């Protein structure tokens, strides 16, 4: 009987530890400078439930992220949230992010952003505070491909920005 109780207890513990919210709080942002197009193209991936929580916290408690039944105002909230939390300077000049769109893929949402009229990139300053306001363990991974050089950094609440040189 003791063996049965142990197995039952382990099963219940396993069930509760793997249901509900995901275990890791990570976003990945890929940044690429496309010299021929004079454009910096950005794709950012975040968990839908975390983003929904952040949008509810900052804008409207009734926000629901669902590609099949989403309010028209969602893109505006997303664009504002991104512009408030993802800040980029190129060659020490603030860059204007253009929200191109988004798409859902399982439990992830992808944002597509662009910075236009960029002739060259010598240094790239990025601050990514997305989701820090709702997920204390959040880590934002930033991967860059600029001037044929690849660099990656991990940004946290305590260290939310980095300056990358590409001379």
Give per-residue pLDDT as tens, 11-50: 444 444 344 455 678 999 999 999 999 999 999 999 999 9
* Distance from C-alpha of 7 to C-alpha of 1, rounded to nearest angstrom: 10
Residue 1 lies in a domain: no
Radius of gyration, alpha carbons of the chain? 19
Q: Is the pTM of this model over 0.85?
A: no
- The whole domain housing 115 covers 22-165
Within a domain: 17: no
Number of domains present in the structure of the chain: 1
Q: Is 111 a member of any domain?
A: yes
98 lies in some domain:
yes
CB of 47 closer than 8 Å to CB of 28: no
Contact between 82 and 97 (Cβ < 8 Å)? yes
Q: What is the pLDDT of residue 160?
A: 95
**Cβ–Cβ under 8 Å, residues 31 and 118:** no
Q: 56 in a domain, yes or no?
A: yes
Residues of the chain with pLDDT under 70: 1-23
The predicted structure's pLDDT at residue 21: 53
């Amino acid at each position: 009987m003791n063996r049965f109780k142990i197995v039952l207890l382990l099963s219940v513990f396993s069930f509760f530890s793997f249901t509900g919210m995901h275990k890791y709080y990570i976003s990945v942002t890929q940044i690429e400078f496309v010299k021929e197009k004079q454009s910096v193209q950005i794709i950012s991936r975040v968990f839908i439930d975390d983003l929904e929580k952040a949008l509810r916290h900052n804008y409207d408690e009734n926000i629901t992220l669902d590609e099949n039944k989403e309010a028209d105002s969602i893109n505006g909230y997303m664009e504002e949230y991104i512009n408030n939390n993802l800040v980029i300077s190129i060659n020490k000049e603030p860059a204007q992010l253009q929200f191109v769109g988004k798409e859902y893929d399982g439990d992830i949402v992808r944002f597509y952003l662009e910075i236009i009229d960029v002739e060259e990139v010598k240094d790239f300053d990025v601050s990514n505070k997305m989701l820090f306001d709702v997920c204390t363990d959040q880590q934002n991974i930033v991967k860059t491909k600029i001037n044929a050089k690849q660099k990656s950094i991990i940004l946290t609440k305590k260290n939310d920005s980095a300056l990358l040189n590409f001379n």
